[in-house]
Amino acid sequence: MDMANRTRRNPVQFYLSDDEQYILDQKFLLSNMKSKSTFLRKLVLYGFVYDVDYSHIREMNAQLGKIGGNLNQIAKRVNTTNTIYKKDMEDIKELMDQIWQLQKSMLSKQPSIRQ
C-alpha cells in the first residue's frame, strides 16, 4: 500500500533502553497480537499505564515458603519413623491456620494503583 492510500499517515518514534525494549517485547508476545504496530496503537489509544504494588504478595510468598519448610520437616519425620505424633498433627493444624490467616490478610489488601 502506498503512502497516499494510508489511513494512518502520522509516524511516531521514541527511544527505549535495552530493559524497556525487553519489557515491551515480552508484553507484545503475551498479547498474542500479530502486529507490533497494532499492539502499540491499542496500548497508546486504549491502554492504561499503572504501577501495582505487589509487596504484599512477595511477603505472602515468603511466609508460605517458611510454612512449607516446616511442613516438609514434619513429613520427613513421619516418613522416617512411620509414626504420626499428636504434636505433628497439632503443628500441621497450626500451619494450616497460618495459611488461612495469610489468605484472609491478602483478601483485605487492595493493590495500590497509581495512574
Task: Please say whether the beta carbons of 92 and 74 come within 8 A.
Answer: yes
Q: Confidence band (pLDDT; 50, 70, 90) for 51?
A: low
Average pLDDT over residues 93-112: 80
Q: Report which secondary-structure segment, H or E, holds 35.
A: none
Residue 108 has pLDDT above 90, yes or no: no
Backbone angles phi and psi of 38, in degrees to 5:
-65, -40
User: What pTM, to 2 d.p., does this model score?
Assistant: 0.46
Question: Beta-carbon neighbour count of residue 39 at 10 Å?
Answer: 19
On average, the pLDDT of the chain sits at 85
Least confident of 4-8, 45-49, 71-75, 102-106: 45-49
Domain extents in the chain: 12-47, 52-114
Strands annotated E in 8-74:
51-52
Least-confidence region, from 39-43, 95-99, 103-107:
103-107
Q: Widest CA span of the chain, in angstroms?
A: 82
> Please, are residues 93 and 40 in contact by the beta-carbon 8 Å criterion?
no
13: left (phi over 0), alpha (psi -120 to 50) or beta: beta
